[in-house]
Amino acid sequence: MPELPDVEVYKRYLDATSLHQEIQEVEIRASKLVKGTALSTLREELTGAGFERTRRHGKWLFAGINSGTWLVLHFGMTGELKYFQDLDDDPAYDQLLISFVNGCHLAYSAPRKLGEFRIIQEVEGFLHAKELGPDVMDLDRNEFLSLLSGRRGMLKTALMDQSLMAGIGNVYSDEVLYQVGLHPRTEIKHLTEEVLGEVFSALHEVVDTAVEHGAEPEEFPADYLTPHRQPGTDCPRCEGQIERIKVSGRSAYCCPSCQDRPGS
């Protein structure tokens, strides 16, 4: 599922390709993905308008329309954006096609049809209704420590809790824990403030690195776990092998040989 780094890449892509262009036509090819908005309203809000700005919060992307409303995009498991001119380049699983007056197009592609898009009046109310916590990249160290203070349960589960902090999912929580040498089943109560501070630093470093490399795992540094998330793969740091385990009902990948650091 696209997580914060992926959606930040999409945000920058939309900024670079699709702002300040008049929209000529809107084609909705998967009405089931339109949530909380009538199809006619979505078309009316976009046709003849344009995107003036963007905002990302966690895994959600908001494109500000020059009328004052927002197009909201969530990318589900496999969603992505593609900007192109020749309709022969339209992606096979294009669920929303926005055509601009300049002859170019912006496609929202989602092969598994698990994302969503809608029109909203303002962002803050939407975030409140979705019960989303602060974006993880907006947190400073003290705010991060405060959110985890006194919290029970496993650190990986907390990092993935969108109501606590928004943006990190299964893949990047694994990467953060790998970078600090903590096992995915490590409990928060066993971690010192110093170690949690290292987790905070690793969180920012991992996100920044992923965005810098276009959220393409094969481009990540050699000592990153993400390109090796397969059971039995050699660990890029030690002589161990990557294992898949269950944490709070979700699959997690780790190297037991080098993710054995005590938390306190």
Structure tokens at 48: 């003849």
Please tell me the pTM assigned to this model. 0.95
What was the pLDDT predicted at 1? 81
How far apart CA 64 and CA 121 sit, in angstroms, is: 10
Question: Residues 166-191: pLDDT tens digits?
Answer: 999 999 999 999 999 999 999 999 99
Under the banding of pLDDT at 50, 70 and 90, the label for residue 261 is confident
The rounded mean pLDDT for the chain is: 96
Provide the sign of the torsion angle of the four alpha carbons 72, 55, 25, 13, taken in this order.
negative
How far apart CA 40 and CA 46 sit, in angstroms, is: 10
What was the pLDDT predicted at 216? 96
> Does the pLDDT of residue 79 top 60, yes or no?
yes
Burial (0-12, 13-18, 19+ Cβ within 10 Å), 236: middle
> Does the pLDDT of residue 163 top 80, yes or no?
yes
> Does the pLDDT of residue 5 top 50, yes or no?
yes
What was the pLDDT predicted at 222? 95
Q: What is the mean pLDDT of residues 11-23?
A: 98
What was the pLDDT predicted at 174? 98
How far apart CA 226 and CA 220 sit, in angstroms, is: 8
Contact status, residue 55 vs residue 135, Cβ threshold 8 Å: no
Contact status, residue 3 vs residue 172, Cβ threshold 8 Å: yes
Question: Residues 19-49: pLDDT tens digits?
Answer: 999 999 999 999 999 999 999 999 999 999 9
Under the banding of pLDDT at 50, 70 and 90, the label for residue 263 is low
Structure tokens at 9: 């890449």
Contacts of 106 (CB under 8 A, 6+ apart): 14, 17, 18, 81, 82, 83, 97, 98, 100
Structure tokens at 226: 């993400």
Torsion of CA 191, 250, 161, 157, to 10 degrees: -10
> Does the pLDDT of residue 84 top 80, yes or no?
yes
> Does the pLDDT of residue 264 top 60, yes or no?
no
What was the pLDDT predicted at 40? 96
What percent of the chain clears pLDDT 70, i.e. is strictly above it?
Answer: 99
Question: Residues 231-246: pLDDT tens digits?
Answer: 999 999 998 999 999 9
Long-range contact pairs involving 141-144 (C-beta distance under 8 Å, separation at least 24):
141/197, 141/200, 141/201, 144/196, 144/200, 144/203
- Domains identified in the chain and CATH numbers: 4-129 (3.20.190.10), 136-254 (1.10.8.50)
CA–chain centroid gap for 127, Å, is 15
